[in-house]
Amino acid sequence: MNMKTLYRNLIAILIVALIFPIANTTFAGNKDRAGQAGATELLINPWTRSSGWASANMSRVRGLEAIWGNIAGTAFTPKTQLIFSNTQWLKGTGTNIMSFGLSQKVGDAGAFSLAVMSMNFGDIDIRTVDNPDESQGTYQPSLLNIALAYSKAFSNSIYGGFVLKIISESIADVSAVGVAIDAGIQYVTGAEEQISFGIALKNVGPKMKFSGDGLSIRTILTNQETQFTLEQRSMEFEMPAQLNIGAAYDFNFANDYRLTAAGNFVSNSFSRDQFTGGLEFSLKEYVQLRGGYTYEKGMWEETTNVENININNGLSAGLTVQVPLNRENGSYIGIDYAYRESHAFSGSHSFGIIFNF
């Protein structure tokens, strides 16, 4: 083993060594802590392809979409990848998610990635204590997540990386800003590199806290004649930390047909654990069909039952159509669609377009 290989393996081991101690101290939660974390939009997958099979492909996700699933997968970016995605989240609520990202290969084995996710809830009526039944105008909540990432192939089998996330949540007069990190590693093996294992620790960071003029009120205290400004103190909230452990296997057939089976275990620090599984069938990489299922305890209970604490589970399905632009360098343009079942509303629908240069 030469020094370069030794160096890469040591870095990969360091990533794993950092993930497990943090995981051991972070994941002491259970269903009784549900609802106690903030910034839960970090748990929403804004990308179309991986959503189509329930994000079960954490160990195999490749390219820019890996910045949400398992950052190690961005190290597979061939050169430049650009994705635009729109999600109608829980259709019927008027919630839209717009996402944009860019992944760029640097050097022989590294990749830098940038992703922006923005949630829009439309116009919400302003109600006051004096006029609870009459709108006093409207306001628009804003949720914005920016992710900066670097990943690297440490050997022919080991890939790893880190993500820095900047989280912003605000309305006109109240806001909160925070940071979080992700770390992930993928191990690929087999004669045709058809076996993948992965582990990713997500959304680890300091607590966030809201502040702003919206937490202040002007009032007259008892036995006083002048008004005072009273500021309410907002309680800090924790990040929705999550640990993912997954595996995948490619069944390669003649004529470049492929069937991939993948599974993933999701350990949530502020809600129940989940199990996801999925299949993806590829016809020469031109057409890809995928489906998945997300299971968690209590999901078959009525929505009003306290045992059912997450409406985002059940079936997922997706479709991709790719058109080659240049067969020599592997560039293509692809159009994606994904559907995610929900216990209420009309599910979530995602549309995406991907450019691979």
Domain boundaries, the chain: 3-356
pLDDT of amino acid 27: 44
User: Exposed, middle or buried, 108 (CB in 10 Å: 0-12/13-18/19+)?
Assistant: exposed
Spatial separation of the C-alpha atoms in residues 272 and 4, rounded to whole Å: 42
- How much helix, strand and coil, in percent to the nearest 5, is found in the chain? 15, 50, 35
Spatial separation of the C-alpha atoms in residues 150 and 74, rounded to whole Å: 8
Going from the C-alpha of 82 to that of each of 76, 86, 158, the distances in angstroms are 14, 14, 24
Which of 339, 328, 324 minimizes the C-alpha distance to 290? 339
- Two structure tokens written together for 27: 């994941």
* Fold designation for 3-356: Porin (2.40.160)
Which of 350, 357, 353, 291 minimizes the C-alpha distance to 324? 357
pLDDT in tens, the chain (357 residues): 555 554 455 454 444 444 544 444 444 445 667 778 889 999 999 999 999 999 999 999 999 999 999 999 999 999 999 999 999 999 988 899 999 999 999 998 999 999 999 999 988 888 887 778 888 888 889 999 999 999 999 988 999 999 999 999 998 889 999 999 999 999 999 999 999 999 999 999 999 999 998 888 877 777 777 777 778 888 899 999 999 999 999 999 998 899 999 999 999 888 889 999 999 999 988 999 999 999 988 887 777 777 777 777 899 999 999 999 887 777 999 999 999 998 878 899 999 999 998
Spatial separation of the C-alpha atoms in residues 208 and 237, rounded to whole Å: 5
